Chains A and B, each alone.
Chain A
């Protein structure tokens, strides 16, 4: 089973990397960009039937730092 973990900075946590990307985009002439925040995408291939609780624990124990980050678990469509 393919699972995607989206890790992003919590709202209110300054994202210097996002700000640098924002400036770079504006430097290329793009306008109307309100904000840029950079996160991380982690793709897992786990045994079918891996519980939501186990995935949650993986995120909390390692994949995200709960002091500064949020995470979202997205299960990919099952292969046909």
Chain B
């Protein structure tokens, strides 16, 4: 069974190729590439990647314009049908702006761009994206962002924690995120948004391969289904 994945490209996306390469490396099947102006997604998708970058030059707010593009209506609809959707970095911003994930990503508290590899704690292994990790495990992934400061009101944060929807937390001070949240899951568990870049840590030559298990988890979830 082949794994049908698609990666969306917006004007200003710059991690779309990395995401596609990671998906192919792990699944053995090339990812389909989808342009933001398309109104429809390819049929029978098993996975949708919303990549990092600076869509629309971060105009208005990061991810704001991309989240209103024609293809995102199709992504929101697919997510509603249960198709796994992963948003990384700018992709996370796009998914919050699209209303698929709660909260917002604000300017880093220290005001500076942060570009380094950080330790992360896997907060739950109970998701199709994190099943390949142990809860409490520390992994290392690169971050590269200016607006990764996760904000949600206290009630929302309590709810996310109570429902096991925090996927990853920073293991060190990174950007001022509320409760050190680095990645969150959607209500039905098939949407994950995260600031760190798992697609940049697939092969040992990348300096680490801790991101590989995330994509493997998604592929295995499909095979098991």
Contacts and interface: CB of A to CB of B under 8 A. Distances in A.
The residue in A16, A20, A63 that gathers the most chain B C-beta atoms within 10 A of its C-beta is A16
Interface of B: 60-61, 64, 68, 96-97, 102-104, 106-111, 149, 151-152, 176
Nearest to B68: A62
B141 to A, nearest CB: 23
Nearest to A13: B151
A52 B79 CA distance: 33
The residue in A14, A17, A62, A65 that gathers the most chain B C-beta atoms within 10 A of its C-beta is A65
B103 A67 contact: yes
Contacts of A14: 106, 109, 151, 176
A65 B111 contact: no
Contacts of B110: 16
A15 to B, nearest CB: 8
Contacts of B108: 16
Given A65-B64, A65-B97, A67-B151, A16 B104 contact: no
A16 B97 contact: no
Given A16-B106, A62-B60, A68 B111 contact: no
